[in-house]
Chain A
Amino acid sequence: MKDENRATHESTEHRGIDKERRALIGAAAGVGAAMVAPGVVLHAVQAQADPRSEPVTSDVRWGLVIDTAKCADGCSACVDACNEENGLDLQTKPGRESEEKWDRQKAVWIRKVKLQDNQTGRITNLPMMCQHCEDPPCVDVCPTGASFKRADGIVMVDRHLCIGCRYCMMACPYKARSFIHEDLEGQLTSVPRGKGCVESCNLCAHRRDYGEDSTACADACAAEGHNAIVFGDLKDPNSIISQLLKELSTRQIREDLELNTGVRYAGV
């Protein structure tokens, strides 16, 4: 009898311990899951974004719509994001150059432009970058074929072929291209850059090739809450950008040149 009692007592004790243990294990599992879960989600997202293994096609045409009414005066979020994404902030001023000259000469992919109508005094802010023309003048004039248009509509420079003649810079009506004048160090893996080549906005081509949704500038603008820059496929009638183009009254800058730009502006 005594023995049996002890046995019962022990088993109840065990049950008590078991409960505590279970609670502890449960909590540990919860914490573990909370720590692992973001990683799992991250991995799932990346699994979708496989790097491109087939050549880009003309089934898509990438472009931007910029609503100048939403573009805030004094905001440079898109420019900063672009500089960081594409390693433009890694350029350093050569000692002999003046600040002024450096400001004019360093490579920039997006410029914030402020327009004023002198008759009415109306001020418009807009970001200006490569307009990714359907018929790009920079490609027309390039003597080596370095300046080219990718099948998906992105106008870019193949630095392996660029000889730095800068004809494209002169041909571009949008002042969108920059020349790298100095040797550089610490370039980003995704954005190689070197002395003697011309470059400009490539709609974050590396992001396109890894299946990401947007560009650095559009992301930054959305993060600021302005949503002035929208990136997307101009050929897909259901894309947000196509819907916007249907709704808004947009224009191409220098429409008279009939370049059919991939970047459209509303409110200019």
Chain B
Amino acid sequence: MAKATVRTILLVGLVWALLAQTVLAEEVRRYVVEGSKAAELDACVEPTERMRRMHFEFIKHQRIATVHQGIRGTKYSLAGCVDCHISYDEQRQPQPIDRPDQFCGACHAYAAVDLNCFDCHASVPNRSEDSPEAQAAHQALGLGPLGSLAQTHAGGGER
């Protein structure tokens, strides 16, 4: 009888642990907008927890290197964020990433931070697929050839 009880408790514990993990994974996924390229990947350019805490440090450091030293070949690029986290509506039109229901906008609205990156920076991918910028962003993300990007980015215009 005692054995059976222990077994049941163990089993329940096991099931609970599994469920908890799934729920956690679901929770993590929730922040990534469905239908974006990022939703297909396990993590961003750094582990998720690190990205959550540090993404602004990464971008801020990168912007100085890019503007003053011309360094464009690193993985922390704002254009890279946009490329990967953008989502598309039914008409295949890209949705501006800073909108309150999109990746950047949703979290910044929740955290009550008012950033103005996208006052100046493009909030939708608008470079052509074969531009050196697009190639570089894609390489930095460690993704495959650009053909796959062309599929997902059908909504993005030439410019």
Contacts and interface: CB of A to CB of B under 8 A. Distances in A.
B126 A206 contact: no
Contacts of A188: 122, 126-127, 159
B93 interface: no
Contact of A189 (B64, B70, B73, B126): B126
B69 A53 contact: no
B132 A192 contact: no
Interface in B53-88: 63-74, 79, 82
A80 interface: no
A96 B2 CA distance: 85
A125 B54 CA distance: 52
Nearest to B121: A192
A209 interface: yes
Contacts of B66: 209
Contacts of A53: 71-74
A195 B119 contact: yes
A210 interface: yes
B122 A42 contact: no
A52 B72 contact: yes
A212 B131 CA distance: 11
B136 A159 contact: no
A148 B70 CA distance: 13
A181 to B, nearest CB: 14
B119 A46 contact: no
Nearest to A157: B67
Given A46-B132, A188-B159, A210-B133, A152 B119 contact: no
A108 B3 CA distance: 83
Interface string A195-213: 1010000000110111110
A55 B119 CA distance: 27
Interface in B104-124: 116, 119-122
A158 interface: yes
Nearest 9 interchain pairs by C-beta: A194-B120, A210-B132, A55-B69, A53-B73, A51-B73, A51-B136, A51-B72, A192-B120, A56-B70
Interface of A: 42, 46, 49-56, 87, 148, 150-152, 156, 158-160, 183, 186-190, 192-195, 197, 205-206, 208-212
22 contacts: A46-B132, A50-B73, A51-B72, A52-B70, A53-B71, A53-B73, A53-B74, A55-B69, A55-B70, A56-B69, A156-B67, A159-B120, A160-B64, A187-B121, A188-B122, A188-B127, A189-B126, A192-B120, A208-B70, A209-B72, A210-B133, A210-B136
Interface of B: 63-74, 79, 82, 116, 119-122, 125-127, 130-133, 135-136, 159
